Amino acid sequence: MEKPKFCTSIACMDGRIQIPIMTWLKKNHNVDYVDTITEPGMDKLFRNPNKIEEIKSKALISVNAHGSKIIIVSGHHDCAGNPVTKQEHIIQIREAVSIIESWNLSVKVIGGWINEKWELEIL
Ligand SMILES: [Zn+2]
């Protein structure tokens, strides 16, 4: 039997975005399961070194124990935990992608924006 394929979503806790993220990953990367790390306004937390360490330790569980090969970090429209402009979200998401890439986990890192139609756009 083949091992199930895992990937990792680092995202806001907002209930409106989880299914669009999972659906996109299953459709485009053929994964079986999406490990999900959430906090309110996740994209802004990559400006806080203590939070970055906490997020990294959680992501490492997904990568090391489940063999995740893809990490997607996202932000979304109408975020109560991080009520900034779309432009600012995009800047923060791109910064988060660079930070995660700097962890050198040999995973593909993807940035995503969930728009006002609750569709995932890849950055
Ligand atoms: Zn949010």
CA 28 to centroid of ligand 1, rounded, Å: 23
CA 99 to centroid of ligand 1, rounded, Å: 20
What is the reported pTM? 0.96
Q: What is the reported pLDDT for 48? A: 96
Nearest CA-CA partner of 100 in 62, 118, 120: 62
Long-range contacts of 46-49 (CB under 8 A, 24+ apart): 46/73, 46/92, 46/95, 46/96, 46/99, 47/92, 47/95
CA 11 to centroid of ligand 1, rounded, Å: 8
CA 49 to centroid of ligand 1, rounded, Å: 20
- pLDDT confidence tier of residue 2, bands split at 50, 70 and 90: confident
Per residue in 61-98, pLDDT (tens digit) is: 999 999 999 999 999 999 999 999 999 999 999 999 99
What whole-number percentage of the chain has pLDDT above 90?
A: 98
CA 75 to centroid of ligand 1, rounded, Å: 7
Q: Which strand (E) or helix (H) includes residue 9?
A: strand 6-12
Tell me the residue type at 4: P
